[in-house]
A and B are shown apart, each in its own frame.
Chain A
Amino acid sequence: MSLPIPPSARDGITPPDVEPDELAPTPETELAVEEVAPAAGITTAAMRRQRPLPKLADPAAPLLVVDDLRTHFRVSSGTVRAVDGVSFRLDHGEALGIAGESGCGKTTTALSLVRILPANARIVSGSISLMGIDLVPKTETALRRYRWREISIVFQGAMNALNPVRRIRDQIAEPIEERLGESPKVARKRAGDLLELVGIPRKRGDAYPHQLSGGMRQRAMIAMALACDPAIVIGDEPTTALDVMVQAQILELLEELRRKLGLSLILITHDLSVIAETCDRVMVMYAGRVAEEGPVDEVFRRPRHPYTQKLMAAFPNIHADRRTLDVIPGSPPDLRDPPPGCRFAPRCPFVMAVCREVVPPETTFSGVRVACHLYPAGSDGVPVTVPPPPAIDEAPVAATG
């Protein structure tokens, strides 16, 4: 009897042919969904947070304070210092955008908040204070209390983030049943309410993820994130996989929900335009650290950190004159062995000697926080001038006749 099992369980297996679903909405129906009125009886007040605060919460404390968070990954070739000293604060009702290129640590930061990290990752130091409760020292079991009920996540690319073999409504009802202890009937009804809140007809809850379009899946994920009435919703690139029209709808939806429900939002994206539209404050990250942070208006109009400036410049402006695309030469550092001092130094057009050796301290002025040697401690927002190149004392070597 020969050995029949292929090494990988999925190698060479084609499931019976998948038939396309005739019911999948076309773009026209996608837009039409917006016009479905939410069920009567759901008022803003009814949706405001009705559940009590967690037992240990301090009502006077700010919603979220992250202080010097460091999350490292152990890999075979060393330790990747993916998040290396990140601090920020989120107040009730605020929308904070975290921007930066791939690999800068923004997603890891967000996942560290609820500690959904792969096995080789660890929060090595820092604190995460949710309403005054430090989540870092909590055990896994204690921490579970806060997942989804206080902080929930809307992942990107909801095709894979939703279980393909379970109905949408059941997936939304699941946390209501499991975490809030409601009966299945109540949970299903509330799931239906949530679907309508995000603009999906209640009946569509019977569908499976593959039967919905990308935009509707994202809405479903948002409905799911709201299931336990959390204090904070984290959006991890929630619109990246969508086309521009749908993206606009989703952003509008998020804005509307924020108003209605008094949500606090952390939006992670590499797309600055999304942040410009939706967020109150923005935090720019680079190579595991915070480069700059402040109100969106201020940071976007007057970027202080050279990296932020480059980011803004790299964004083509449809109204401005045509010019060559401004790119940042080089690439982000290897986080297993980051450079001492400022991590942007190798690519910075304003680099000074001190940048390569000393980690730039964070300074705050005009409501903006920057970590750059151009703005040393006590700065008032005017960048330190880069010293001119040294005068040439020696005469060039002349050929003697």
Chain B
Amino acid sequence: MTTPAATVDLAPLAPTAPAEHLFRRIVSRPDGLFGLVILAVFTVLAAVPDLLVGPLQTAVTATGGRLQPPSLAYPLGTDEIGRDLLNLTIHGTRISMVIGFLATAITIFIGGVIGIVGGFAGGRIDAVLMRITDFFLVLPTFVLALILAPIISDVIGTGSTMLGIRTTLIVIVIVVGITSWASCARLLRAQTLSLKERPFVDRARVIGAGRTHIVVRHILPNVVNLLVANAVLTFAGAVLTETTLSFVGLGDPFQPSWGQLLNAAEEVGAPNLGAWWYFVPPGAGIVLVVFAFTLLGTALDDLLNPRRRTRR
């Protein structure tokens, strides 16, 4: 039990995780490796869907029969207007991933600012920020998202595209972003607090290091680590949320994400009709991405979370 001399953790954490070293450590773990591979595969699919299956099929360009099971010509079958499911699923990758990415950016930004500022400032500012965060945690954010969507739609306007994504989907991005930040904020605050308490901060102060110096040299690098781990996990969550929102009808049939495809499948009654090829491929995509990113995120958290490391 008493492994050789446990002493107070003296070393600052930041210099131990340069990117390349970290990369190697992630790949050496099975969960990290799996996560990275899946991430790579889906990033490729999302980046160049046209190269792989041609442009997104529409009602006009659909060539197949209706709701046909998989065949040689259509490996994943067709939907109710004859579009090739393989085509739709692969294009859906881009939509789902981009929405997830953008929503994560917003979530991490809001959650990060609130959590880290609260954790650092302490006192009344922290108390107020935490009240707000706890309030959001209690809310059924899903229903809130449903209510917010038309409001934001109004503000942004519909029908046009922004960043290559139709505005209906931008609405989803914003809505997911502003409703999901709470658990992120809480996590980051907890981790910031434990960072603040680490002995090296006190030691730096004792030898006269100024506040900015402490923040820049010691705290920020570790915070970046925390954000990365949280971002990966948040991404998984954002994909799930977007999927659910699209499923209940907020998606865009002209730029179908996986969630939108599932919505379409449900409306057509695919499960009742036994048309498994309609919802299993997009479903598999969702599960794979969320699963892989959860694994990767947990691996990163294991490696980077200061509280975890002291326990090892």
Task: Report the number of A-B residue pairs with Cβ-Cβ less than 8 Å.
Answer: 75
Structural contact, B301 and A2, CB atoms closer than 8 A: no
In the bound assembly, the distance between CA atoms of A116 and B301 in angstroms comes to 31
Chain B binding surface SS class: helix
State A80–B1 Cα separation when bound (angstroms): 12
Q: Mark B228-240, 1 if CB is under 8 A from A, else 0.
A: 0100011011101
Instruction: Decide: B5 and A11 in contact? CB cutoff 8 A.
Output: no
CA A8 to CA B3, docked complex, whole Å: 24
For A111, the closest partner residue in chain B by CB is B1
Asked if A1 and B240 make an inter-chain contact with CB atoms under 8 angstroms apart, the answer reads: yes
Stretch in A40-48, A101-109, A243-251 touching the partner: A101-109
A103, B5: Cβ atoms under 8 Å? yes
Q: Which residues of B contact A111 (CB under 8 A)?
A: 1
Main secondary structure of the interface of A (DSSP, over half): loop
Interface size on A, residues (CB 8 A): 27
Known: A11-B307, A12-B190. A4 touches B183 (CB 8 A): yes
Chain B residue nearest to A108 in the complex (CB): B2
State the interface size on chain B (CB cutoff 8 A).
Answer: 34
Q: When the two chains form their complex, are residues B305 and A8 in contact, meaning their CB atoms are under 8 A apart?
A: yes
Q: CB-nearest residue of chain B relative to A12?
A: B190
Verify if B189 is at the interface (C-beta below 8 Å from A): yes
Q: Which residues of B sit under 8 angstroms from A12, Cβ to Cβ?
A: 186-187, 189-191
B4 touches A103 (CB 8 A): yes
Stretch at the interface among B198-206, B217-225, B290-298: B290-298
Q: Is A15 an interface residue (CB 8 A)?
A: no
Contact with A11, one of B6, B141, B190 (Cβ below 8 angstroms): B190
> Contact partner of A73 among B3, B183, B189, B307, CB < 8 A?
B3
Which chain A positions have C-beta within 8 A of B142? 1
Interface residues of A in 86-120 (CB under 8 A from B): 102-103, 105, 107-108, 111, 116-118
From B244, which residue of chain A is reached at the shortest CB distance?
Answer: A1
Q: Are A102 and B3 in contact (CB under 8 A)?
A: no
The 8 Å CB contact of A3, one of B5, B236, B302, is B236
Judged by a CB distance under 8 angstroms, whether B180 is at the interface is: yes
Q: How far is the CA of A116 from the CA of B308 in the complex (A)?
A: 24
B246 interface residue per 8 A CB criterion: no
- Specify which chain B residues have a CB less than 8 angstroms from the CB of A11 in the assembled complex: 187, 190-191, 305, 307
Chain B residues in contact with chain A, CB under 8 A? Answer: 1-6, 141-142, 176, 180, 183, 186-187, 189-191, 229, 233-234, 236-238, 240-241, 244, 290, 294, 297-298, 301-302, 305, 307-308
**A residues apposed to B, CB below 8 Å:** 1-4, 6-8, 11-13, 73, 75, 80, 82, 102-103, 105, 107-108, 111, 116-118, 121, 332, 334-335
Provide 16 A-B residue pairs closer than 8 Å at the C-beta atoms, listed in order of the A residue.
A1-B241, A2-B240, A3-B236, A4-B237, A6-B186, A6-B187, A7-B233, A7-B298, A7-B305, A12-B189, A12-B191, A13-B190, A107-B1, A117-B1, A332-B4, A335-B4
